[in-house]
């Protein structure tokens, strides 16, 4: 891990229910103060491959409340609707392609993975809203139009307080699915 503060590592561990892999940095903080998006290494070392396997998700959403809310959007058919719009709206398609290029540029600044795709279905479809929202939060408004749209549809997940406390013991965790992961049936690409 890079220079991520221990309290942030503990918070992410509590959010995910396990030790994060390839953690490089906190890419965005929730208004509650906890990380809600982390930056991960483009290549994750595994037992099978100690040199590392490409990991598709540079920006990984960690907040279980946000992940659960995004899962509800996905379950409601938003990804299919967005993909259809990409096919009929050239301006949106161009902006989404620019988001794809931004994502690759950011990843390539860490490590170039020739021929490896970006994430979330970019640039031609919408495959994972978790990734698109994480990209919007990390990069800021105006970079990923579909991530921004999904973000605008989310409730204020932080309103009831932190999903975990800064010590990382899980106290305050109140959202997520029955398994306590905070993810819907659909999980983020690569499952950090």
The tens digit of pLDDT for each residue in 18-49 reads 999 999 999 999 999 999 999 999 999 888 88
29 part of a folded domain: yes
DSSP annotation of 171: T
- Position 175 in a domain: no
Mean model confidence pLDDT for the chain: 87
Domain membership flag for residue 63: yes
As a whole number of angstroms, the distance between CA 28 and CA 136 comes to 10
Banded pLDDT at 161 (limits 50, 70, 90): confident
pTM higher than 0.75 for the full model?
Answer: yes
Is the bond into 123 cis (omega within 30 degrees of 0)?
yes
Give a yes or no: residue 158 inside a domain: no
Residue in the structure block whose two tokens are 């921004």: 148
Residue 166 lies inside a defined structural domain of this protein: no
Per the structure, the complete domain to which residue 108 belongs is given by 6-153
Number of domains the chain is built from:
1
Q: Is residue 134 part of a domain?
A: yes
Residue 87 lies in a domain: yes
Sign (positive or negative) of CA dihedral 163, 27, 82, 141: positive
Which two structure tokens, joined as six digits, stand for 179? 């398994």
Of residues 173, 92, 74, the one with CA closest to residue 128: 74
pLDDT at residue 178 tops 80: no
Flag whether pLDDT at 192 surpasses 80.
no
Whether the Cβ atoms of residue 119 and residue 128 lie closer than 8 Å to each other: yes
């Amino acid at each position: 891990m890079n220079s991520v503060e221990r309290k942030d590592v503990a918070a992410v561990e509590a959010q995910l229910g396990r030790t994060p892999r390839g953690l490089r940095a906190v890419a965005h903080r929730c208004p509650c103060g906890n990380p809600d998006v982390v930056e991960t290494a483009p290549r994750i070392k595994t037992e099978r491959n100690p040199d590392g396997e490409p990991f598709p998700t540079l920006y990984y959403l960690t907040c279980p409340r946000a992940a659960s809310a995004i899962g509800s959007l996905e379950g409601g058919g938003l990804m299919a609707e967005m993909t259809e719009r990409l096919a009929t709206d050239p301006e949106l398609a161009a902006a989404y392609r620019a988001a794809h290029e931004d994502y690759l540029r950011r990843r390539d600044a860490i490590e170039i993975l020739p021929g490896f795709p970006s994430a979330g279905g970019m640039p031609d479809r919408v495959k994972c809203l978790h990734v698109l929202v994480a990209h919007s939060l990390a990069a800021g408004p105006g970079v990923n139009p579909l991530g921004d749209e999904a973000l605008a549809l989310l409730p204020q997940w932080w309103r009831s307080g932190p999903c975990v406390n800064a010590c990382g013991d899980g106290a305050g965790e109140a959202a997520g699915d029955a398994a306590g992961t905070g993810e819907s049936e659909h999980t983020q690409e690569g499952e950090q």
